[in-house]
């Protein structure tokens, strides 16, 4: 069996110990005589998985007691609508910062439900930086303030989150959740599609401060009401059972490594190895402002589309797959989420060096 180094932006790699354990438990989960895929979500055995997963996520992320944790379907993209349907009902206004394509999509979708102001944008320089904010431009009566914490496509991230005072800060953390410690109490709501750092596709995690519940508009679909989901412990209908189980195994793995502090240390080291090489390279360049470079998605170009294409092709043949940049930016992108081992980065850098020697 030969496994590749998969640099996909999502769905992406899962830790090998997680896959092995899932395989071992596949046919008979803890003596239940069935796989987790087959069991009733109302069974005692499944309850121990979903409630256990929540308890572990709370412990790993240090989620305060006045926050609810939801396991939903629909992806982060559904949250682009679910957030305004539930929160955009006071002044009917919200502030958005546009730092990439997902931030823009979130803003566009929310704009269908109320007045969503663009406080700042980095579109002028192809999202290669995070704009400096002037708090005087914030709407003090906004129902919330939305950011995308890590810009998956462009490879930038917020290093210091905005101070929004009494206005709840809402963050799309799809591509950085569980990559480093985060002070949850700074946020009103955090959401993440799980397929980057938590689990297979199909699960969306929402962490919401309790006082933000109960403001949902009447016309919101029942399935899109956070309160419905809170009252039913994410089991108003069938939850994404198997991804929740894998999420629990991923959290076991994270805890065995030493939790988020340790994860951040590993991730920072991994990213530094790649960025240091790119910065010293005669062939490859990264265009993101150094201070805000993502430690999860590393973008790079050679400046020549033909050579970029050649690199992607030769990399795939050498076992480094899905390293092509997003279709909107071109070039290359190495997504190096938690599950990408340090050896994967070392091997990639060695391959890049060889390619540079042959092509620069
Ligand atoms: C992947 C991604 C999304 C889209 O997630 P889906 O679950 O496919 O809807 C949204 N935001 C960010 C930051 C992402 O990385």
Ligand 1 center–CA 330 separation, angstroms:
19
Q: d(Cα 94, Cα 60) in Å, to the nearest integer?
A: 30
Say yes or no: CB of residue 175 within 6 Å of ligand 1.
Answer: yes
- For residue 7, being part of any structural domain is answered with no
Name the pLDDT band for 349 (thresholds 50, 70, 90): very high
Ligand 1 center–CA 297 separation, angstroms:
13
Query: Do 185 and 66 contact (CB within 8 A), yes or no?
Result: no
- For residue 3, being part of any structural domain is answered with no
| Structural domain of 133 | 17-256
Say yes or no: CB of residue 243 within 6 Å of ligand 1.
Answer: no
- Which of residues 237, 256, 275 is at a domain's end? 256
> Which of 268, 248, 256, 244 lies closest to 336 in space, CA to CA?
268
**Closest residue by CA, ligand 1 atom 14:** 174
- For residue 51, being part of any structural domain is answered with yes
**Closest residue by CA, ligand 1 atom 12:** 174
Give yes or no: residues 249 and 268 share one domain: no
Within 10 angstroms of residue 54's Cβ, the number of other Cβ atoms is 22
Within 10 angstroms of residue 123's Cβ, the number of other Cβ atoms is 15
Give yes or no: residues 26 and 173 share one domain: yes
Name the pLDDT band for 1 (thresholds 50, 70, 90): confident
Top mutation candidate among 99, 102, 196, 328 for ligand 1, by most atoms within 8 Å of CB: 102
- For residue 6, being part of any structural domain is answered with no
Query: Do 171 and 145 contact (CB within 8 A), yes or no?
Result: no
Tokens 């540079």: give the residue.
356
Say yes or no: CB of residue 251 within 6 Å of ligand 1.
Answer: no
**Closest residue by CA, ligand 1 atom 2:** 174
> Which of 184, 125, 177 lies closest to 148 in space, CA to CA?
177
Give yes or no: residues 229 and 288 share one domain: no
What's the CATH code of the domain at 301? 3.90.1150.10
The reported pLDDT for the residue numbered 360 is 85
Top mutation candidate among 73, 77, 82 for ligand 1, by most atoms within 8 Å of CB: 77
Number of domains the chain contains = 2
| Per-residue pLDDT tens digits for 168-210 | 999 999 999 999 999 999 999 999 999 999 999 999 999 999 9
What mean pLDDT comes out for the span 217-226?
A: 97
Say yes or no: CB of residue 193 within 6 Å of ligand 1.
Answer: yes
What mean pLDDT comes out for the span 274-287?
A: 98
Give yes or no: residues 193 and 224 share one domain: yes
Query: Do 274 and 286 contact (CB within 8 A), yes or no?
Result: no
Q: d(Cα 322, Cα 348) in Å, to the nearest integer?
A: 12
What mean pLDDT comes out for the span 255-264?
A: 98
Top mutation candidate among 174, 177, 336 for ligand 1, by most atoms within 8 Å of CB: 174
Give yes or no: residues 225 and 90 share one domain: yes
The reported pLDDT for the residue numbered 196 is 98
Name the pLDDT band for 289 (thresholds 50, 70, 90): very high
Give yes or no: residues 162 and 286 share one domain: no
* Whole-structure pTM value: 0.98
| Mean pLDDT score across all residues of the chain | 97
Q: What is the total residue count of the chain?
A: 360
- For residue 5, being part of any structural domain is answered with no
The reported pLDDT for the residue numbered 328 is 86
β-strand 297-300 against 332-335: which pairing, if any? antiparallel
The reported pLDDT for the residue numbered 254 is 98
Give yes or no: residues 210 and 325 share one domain: no
**Closest residue by CA, ligand 1 atom 5:** 76
User: H or E element: which one contains 72?
Assistant: strand 67-72
**Closest residue by CA, ligand 1 atom 10:** 76
Say yes or no: CB of residue 76 within 6 Å of ligand 1.
Answer: yes
| Per-residue pLDDT tens digits for 70-126 | 999 999 999 999 999 999 999 999 999 999 999 999 999 999 999 999 999 999 999
Rounded to the nearest 10°, the torsion over CA 274, 277, 278, 282 is: -160
Give yes or no: residues 133 and 201 share one domain: yes
The reported pLDDT for the residue numbered 99 is 98
- For residue 12, being part of any structural domain is answered with no
Residue 78 Cα distances to 54, 167, 207, 224, 337, angstroms: 21, 22, 15, 9, 23
Ligand 1 center–CA 174 separation, angstroms:
6
Ligand 1 center–CA 122 separation, angstroms:
19
Give yes or no: residues 55 and 129 share one domain: yes
What mean pLDDT comes out for the span 116-141?
A: 97
Ligand 1 center–CA 356 separation, angstroms:
32
Q: d(Cα 99, Cα 155) in Å, to the nearest integer?
A: 10
Give yes or no: residues 269 and 233 share one domain: no
Say yes or no: CB of residue 187 within 6 Å of ligand 1.
Answer: no
Say yes or no: CB of residue 109 within 6 Å of ligand 1.
Answer: no
The reported pLDDT for the residue numbered 2 is 87
Radius of gyration (C-alpha) of the chain in whole angstroms: 21
Flag whether pLDDT at 298 surpasses 90: yes
Give yes or no: residues 204 and 102 share one domain: yes
Indicate the burial class of 2 (C-beta count within 10 angstroms; 0-12, 13-18, 19 or more).
Answer: exposed
Ligand 1 center–CA 30 separation, angstroms:
33
Give yes or no: residues 52 and 134 share one domain: yes
- For residue 185, being part of any structural domain is answered with yes
| Per-residue pLDDT tens digits for 62-71 | 999 999 999 9
The 8-class DSSP code of residue 121 comes to E
> Which of 262, 271, 249 lies closest to 200 in space, CA to CA?
249
What's the CATH code of the domain at 162? 3.40.640.10
Say yes or no: CB of residue 267 within 6 Å of ligand 1.
Answer: no
Ligand 1 center–CA 225 separation, angstroms:
20
């Amino acid at each position: 069996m030969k496994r590749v180094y998969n640099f996909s932006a999502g769905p992406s790699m899962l830790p090998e110990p997680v896959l092995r354990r899932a395989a071992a438990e596949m046919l008979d989960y803890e003596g239940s005589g069935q796989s987790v895929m087959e069991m009733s979500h109302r069974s005692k055995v499944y309850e121990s998985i979903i409630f256990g997963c929540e308890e572990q996520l709370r412990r790993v992320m240090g989620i305060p007691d006045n926050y609810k944790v939801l396991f939903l379907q629909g992806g982060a993209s559904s949250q682009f609508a679910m957030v305004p349907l539930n929160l955009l009902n006071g002044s009917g206004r919200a502030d958005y910062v546009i730092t990439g394509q997902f931030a823009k999509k979130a803003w566009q979708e929310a704009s269908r439900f109320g007045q969503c102001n663009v406080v700042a944008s980095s579109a002028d320089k192809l999202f290669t930086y995070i704009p400096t904010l002037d708090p005087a431009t914030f709407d003090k009566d906004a129902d919330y303030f939305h950011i995308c914490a890590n810009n998956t496509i462009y490879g930038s991230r917020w290093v210091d989150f905005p101070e929004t005072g009494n206005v709840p800060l809402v963050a799309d953390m799809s591509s950085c959740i569980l990559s480093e410690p985060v002070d949850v109490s700074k946020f009103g709501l955090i959401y993440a599609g799980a397929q980057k750092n938590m689990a297979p596709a199909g699960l969306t995690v929402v962490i919401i401060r309790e006082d933000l519940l109960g403001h949902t508009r009447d016309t919101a679909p029942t399935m899109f009401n956070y309160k419905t989901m809170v009252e039913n412990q994410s089991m108003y209908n069938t939850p994404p059972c198997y991804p929740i189980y894998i999420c629990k195994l991923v959290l076991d793995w994270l805890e065995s490594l030493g939790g988020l502090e340790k994860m951040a240390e590993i991730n920072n080291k991994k990213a530094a190895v790649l960025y240091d090489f790119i910065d010293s390279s005669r062939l490859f360049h990264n265009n993101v402002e150094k201070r805000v470079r993502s430690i999860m998605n590393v973008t790079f170009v050679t400046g020549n589309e033909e050579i970029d294409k050649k690199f992607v092709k030769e990399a795939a043949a050498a076992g480094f797959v899905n390293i092509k940049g997003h279709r909107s930016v071109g070039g290359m992108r190495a997504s190096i989420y938690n599950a990408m081992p340090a050896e994967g980065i070392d091997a990639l850098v060695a391959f890049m060096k060889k390619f540079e020697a042959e092509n620069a």
